[in-house]
Amino acid sequence: MPQIVTLTLNPAVDKISSIPHVVAERKLRCEPPRHDPGGGGLNVARAIQRLGGQATAYWTCGGLMGQLLAERLDAEDVLHRPIPIQAMTRENLIVLEQSTGLQFRFGMPGARLTPDEVERCLRTLHELDRAPDFLVLSGSLPPGAPDDFYARAVRECPADCRVILDTSGPPLHQGMEGGVYLIKPNIRELSELAGSELMEDAEIREVARSLISSGKVHVVVTSLGSAGVVVITGEHCENIRAPTVKVQSKVGAGDSTVAGIVWGLAQGKDVPDAVRLGVAAGSAAVMTEGTELCRPEDVWRLYEEMCRNGERGS
């Protein structure tokens, strides 16, 4: 089975609670909180594990929150390798307002990495016992990590390693300079890469094709939210519609999508069908509450429905 590695420089413990009403300037008494692992690469590894696969998750670990995060990953049987840092791993807060169903998400900047810790993360990739077949670089960069970190990480990989880059802003723009296999921007992020606001399907396709022609990326999967995705390669262009589901929470949907894509590719599916599995996983994730990721039974049911409704399977 192909080896999948994820790297998360800005992991988090996601604390989630609920309250009847969110009111300013008042002491609010919340329900007992739940603590879940968070951070792009960790969520991808967790979702792959739920789909029946395995990924090795490397992540920066510091302080009591880092210990708690490690315990939560162990409880889910996720194969992970902490990279020790001095500062404490961040904690995010997610509060559900019961009366409205609105979700308030407070994301913290993360632990500041020292220059030595940044280099340690890069050495970790360089010193892997076995070069991965897939490397997922996912999530925001914490304070102290340079914008070109992902580009430097890509250069640590052998040429036959397929790198999936899922981030935004300068780290996405600079990360692509290293040459990656697949990116998954939303329309806003693709617009930032293009330098202009994209409104029409034709514009999305034109920008994606120009990125592929430049040699920076082989596959561009542009997220359209509830409408699905547009997947473009050098030879293929397809709109993949997302199934209609009841939305409980959008937390983790993007990471579940990436997990489905990577796991599909690792199983030998072609790109469109792997992306189809990713869309099913992302749709399944929004059906769960809070920070919960996709449930495997939902993923496979939705995927099979998409195939029966005319979508091609491998």
β-pairing, 217-223 vs 180-183, is parallel
Alpha carbon distance 276, 258 (integer Å):
11
Low-confidence ranges of the chain (pLDDT < 50): 312-314
5: CATH? 3.40.1190.20
What's the number of domains the chain is made of? 1
Instruction: Establish if 153 belongs to a structural domain.
Output: no
Contacts of 202 (CB under 8 A, 6+ apart): none
| Active-site entry in 14, 255, 273, 298 | 255
Write the pLDDT tens digit of every residue in 28-62. Answer: 999 999 999 999 999 999 999 999 999 999 999 99
Instruction: Establish if 77 belongs to a structural domain.
Output: yes
Q: Tell me, what's the pLDDT at 314?
A: 37
- H-only helix segments in the chain: 40-50, 63-75, 115-126, 149-155, 169-175, 187-194, 201-213, 253-266, 271-286, 296-308
What residue has token string 């840092």? 85
Instruction: Establish if 253 belongs to a structural domain.
Output: no
Q: Tell me, what's the pLDDT at 249?
A: 73
Q: Tell me, what's the pLDDT at 203?
A: 92
Q: 66 lies in which domain range? A: 1-132
Instruction: Establish if 148 belongs to a structural domain.
Output: no
Alpha carbon distance 198, 58 (integer Å):
35
- Which neighbouring-strand residues pair with 95? 17, 104
User: Is the C-alpha dihedral spanning 203, 237, 170, 284 positive or negative?
Assistant: positive
Q: Tell me, what's the pLDDT at 82?
A: 98
Q: pTM of the full predicted structure?
A: 0.92
Tokens of 182: 């697949």
What single-letter amino acid sits at 130? R
Q: Tell me, what's the pLDDT at 226?
A: 81
Alpha carbon distance 96, 99 (integer Å):
9
Please tell me the number of Cα atoms within 13 Å of 154 on its side-chain side: 24
Smallest CA-to-CA distance from 255 within 132, 190, 175, 167 is with 167
Reported residue count of the chain is: 314
Instruction: Establish if 71 belongs to a structural domain.
Output: yes
Q: Is 255 a catalytic residue?
A: yes
Q: Tell me, what's the pLDDT at 290?
A: 67
Instruction: Establish if 179 belongs to a structural domain.
Output: no
Q: Tell me, what's the pLDDT at 180?
A: 96
Query: Would you give the DSSP letter of residue 148?
Result: T
Kindly report the number of other CB atoms within 10 A of residue 158's CB atom: 9
Instruction: Establish if 207 belongs to a structural domain.
Output: no
Q: Tell me, what's the pLDDT at 310?
A: 58
Q: Rounded to 5 degrees, what are φ and ψ at 73?
A: -65, -40
Contacts of 200 (CB under 8 A, 6+ apart): none
Instruction: Establish if 110 belongs to a structural domain.
Output: yes
